[in-house]
Chains A and B, each alone.
Chain A
Amino acid sequence: MLQYTIRRLLLMIPTLFFVAALTFGLAKAAPGSPFDRNPDRPPSAQTMERLNRYYGLDKPVHEQFFLWLGNMAKLDLGSSLVSNRPIADILGRGFPITAQLGLQALLLALAVSLPLGVISALRQNTLVDYGSLFFATIGTTIPSFVIALFFIYVFGVWLRWLPFVGWGSPQHMIMPTIILSLGSAAFLTRITRASMLEAIRQDYVRTARSKGLREQVVIVGHVLKNAMIPVATILGPAAAGLITGSFIIESLFSVPGIGREYIRGIVANDYPLIMATTLLYAFFIVVANLSVDLVYGMLDPRIKVGK
């Protein structure tokens, strides 16, 4: 297990390197200099040269890349071109908020989808089942920001129950958390239901019943443990989905997290910020996938993680 974990940790490196190279390459390939933002007042040639030297942009590209990569590794993320604030500062301030929003959404998604999926599989073709299928279809079909608009209209504009701008009080958190969790919750409900239906008709369930076990014991002790394996493998993509979802939801609800800063950076061509944040996201996604794989190895004894 330890050996496997170490090997997986080492395998993260090429993946992260690829994303770093891609981000850097695209930023370099993009035409124009990051400093001639305002076409009406282009900076003088002298200023450009000074800026380029200051940011190390006069060196060959591969040198720039490794310089930047080295800085990233040292957590020296540079400063924003727009606000001049250190990027570490911007991300440090936004991180707790984004993390809180993301974790709340993940927990909510699990708390809703697992019971819903299990119950709808056990009560197949009942009202509960149709209801959860409807929820799963809507949630996986309509993009979250569109659903968010209807929520904002009903609860924010019309009923005036919930604020929809900013972050801080628990009321502020309700809508962003629900909306962010929606897509993952719907997807996980669908997977849980399908996986339960698959597990429940397996031969070993009949064997369990033939031992005289109570139905609850059969479901909890035999069916659930098998049904959760496919669900666990989906948690990695679900976590990645929450991260991309957070750009959108934070921008929509003006939540001062990393996601909103990221989108702001993209709109304003703030390359250092975009690059550092992309790398940060890549890191989180890789870690999320790794933890899911480790959990998967623990759930399913057929996967030999030791070797």
Chain B
Amino acid sequence: MATTTATGRSAAERAAELNVIARKQRSLWRDALYRLLRNRAAILGLAVIVLAAIIAILAPFIAPYDPLKVDTKFNQLEPVWTGSKYTNPAYPLGTDQLGRDILSRLMWAARVSMVVGFIPTTMVFAIGIAVGLSAGYFGGWVDQGLMRLTDIVYAFPDFLFVLIIVASFRNSAFGNLLGGLVLIFAAVAIVGWIGIARLTRGQVLALKEREFVEAARAIGAGPTRIMTKHLLPNALAPLIVTAAFAVPGAIIGEATLSFLGVGIKPPTPSWGAMINEGFIGFSANPWAVLLPAICISIVMLAFTFVGDGLRDALDPRMKS
């Protein structure tokens, strides 16, 4: 804690310093943006994600068929480019074993992936940042509790916890909301916030002893203001990078759960569920499985490019 004399003397100086830091920071973000825009892989990845998001939003309007419409006359059709006799130009990417149009299902499945990628990640960050900020700033029992919890949770893979939670509730009314989507949100959020809280806490602990925080305190800023206006903006860079990798992580989680048959409930289309359903007929029509697999791969690579780009842009020192 600063003594009163030190505070009185240096308040003006420190405020000036604060100003300098604020200005420098803005140019820091501009620099980061500039670096990101020069990264071709990241821009390509961003374009792919935007495209996937547009398809997801417009799926009800651009999908040629109802993704749930069963047409047993035309089941197990192959994509047109295979040139086999089991193709039909009306179904350019073929149909699954129930005769549902694969192109339409892929488009609708993009909705599940995008929603699963972004919504739980938002919840994870809201909870994690709030807990991490208060644990780092105030210490005390919040901090103690958080640290004990992370010690235990960190020993195990997140996916194991998600799986246990999903396994426990998938037959409840809650587990049936939106075809199981809400349960997946909840499971990802419950497990995910802990890591974010720990990261935020570490950042806050490192930052809170710095002069600009002390200066803010000296000019009478309250804890909320210090946390939101001074600590958070400075702790943001690693959090953004983590978020960029958390989104694809959640998408993989959903795809894996659905692939294992415990995620999105049929008939709702999701890429993982499509692989699960099509796998029985893999030898007969591999494309029903390969197409959603390709979609997952492309979206995952896109997110990785953006994440790597963001990391390099925000912290050039982290570049390997």
Residues of A within 8 A of B (CB): 14-15, 18-19, 22-23, 26-27, 29-32, 137-138, 140-143, 145-146, 149-150, 152-153, 157, 190, 193-194, 197, 237, 240-241, 243-244, 247-248, 251-252, 263, 266-267, 269, 274, 278, 281-282, 285-286, 289
For B, the interface residue count at a CB cutoff of 8 angstroms equals 41
Which residue in B151, B163, B255, B289 is a CB contact (below 8 Å) of A143? B255
Which residue in A22, A150, A190, A240 is a CB contact (below 8 Å) of B164? A22
A145 touches B164 (CB 8 A): no
Known contacts A15-B152, A146-B296, A285-B156; A30/B259 CB under 8 A: no
Mask of B263-290 contacts with A, CB within 8 angstroms, 1/0? 0000000000001000100110010011
Instruction: Pick the most buried of A26, A248, A281, A286: most chain B CB atoms within 10 A of its CB.
Output: A26
Q: Say which one of B17-25, B52-60, B165-173 lies at the interface with A.
A: B165-173
B155 in the interface (beta carbon within 8 A): yes
B156 touches A142 (CB 8 A): no
Instruction: Pick the most buried of B163, B168, B171, B293: most chain A CB atoms within 10 A of its CB.
Output: B168
B169 CB to nearest chain A CB (Å) = 6
Q: Say which one of B94-102, B198-206, B297-305 lies at the interface with A.
A: B297-305
Chain B residues whose CB sits within 8 angstroms of the CB of A30 once the complex forms: 168-169, 171-172
Chain B residues whose CB sits within 8 angstroms of the CB of A252 once the complex forms: 279
Chain B residues whose CB sits within 8 angstroms of the CB of A18 once the complex forms: 152
Q: Quick one: which of B131-183 are within 8 Å of A by CB?
A: 151-152, 155-157, 159-161, 163-169, 171-173
Instruction: Pick the most buried of B166, B169, B260, B320: most chain A CB atoms within 10 A of its CB.
Output: B260
- Can you list 27 A-B pairs, Cβ within 8 angstroms, ordered by A? A15-B152, A19-B152, A19-B156, A26-B165, A30-B168, A31-B173, A32-B171, A141-B301, A143-B296, A146-B297, A149-B289, A150-B293, A153-B286, A153-B290, A157-B282, A193-B320, A237-B157, A244-B160, A247-B163, A252-B279, A263-B262, A266-B260, A267-B261, A267-B262, A269-B167, A269-B171, A286-B155
A240 to B165, alpha carbons, bound, how many Å? 18
Known contacts A26-B164, A30-B171, A194-B320; A244/B260 CB under 8 A: no
A26 to B155, alpha carbons, bound, how many Å? 19
B304 touches A149 (CB 8 A): no
B252 in the interface (beta carbon within 8 A): yes
Chain A residues whose CB sits within 8 angstroms of the CB of B156 once the complex forms: 19, 240, 282, 285
Tell me the dominant secondary structure on chain A's binding face.
helix
Which residue in A27, A263, A278 is a CB contact (below 8 Å) of B160? A278
A240 touches B320 (CB 8 A): no
Tell me the dominant secondary structure on chain B's binding face.
helix
Known contacts A22-B164, A157-B283; A263/B260 CB under 8 A: yes
Chain A residues whose CB sits within 8 angstroms of the CB of B161 once the complex forms: 22
Chain B residues whose CB sits within 8 angstroms of the CB of A281 once the complex forms: 160
Residue of A nearest to B301 (CB): A141
A150 touches B290 (CB 8 A): yes
A167 to B293, alpha carbons, bound, how many Å? 24
A-B pairs with beta carbons under 8 A, tally: 116
Residue of A nearest to B275 (CB): A149
Chain B residues whose CB sits within 8 angstroms of the CB of A152 once the complex forms: 282
B121 in the interface (beta carbon within 8 A): no
A226 CB to nearest chain B CB (Å) = 17
Known contacts A141-B304, A146-B296, A149-B290; A247/B260 CB under 8 A: yes
Instruction: Pick the most buried of B156, B255, B260: most chain A CB atoms within 10 A of its CB.
Output: B156
Known contacts A31-B173, A153-B290; A142/B296 CB under 8 A: yes
A110 to B268, alpha carbons, bound, how many Å? 40
A281 CB to nearest chain B CB (Å) = 7
B113 in the interface (beta carbon within 8 A): no
B256 in the interface (beta carbon within 8 A): yes
A45 to B151, alpha carbons, bound, how many Å? 44
Known contacts A157-B286, A267-B262; A143/B300 CB under 8 A: yes
Residue of B nearest to A32 (CB): B171
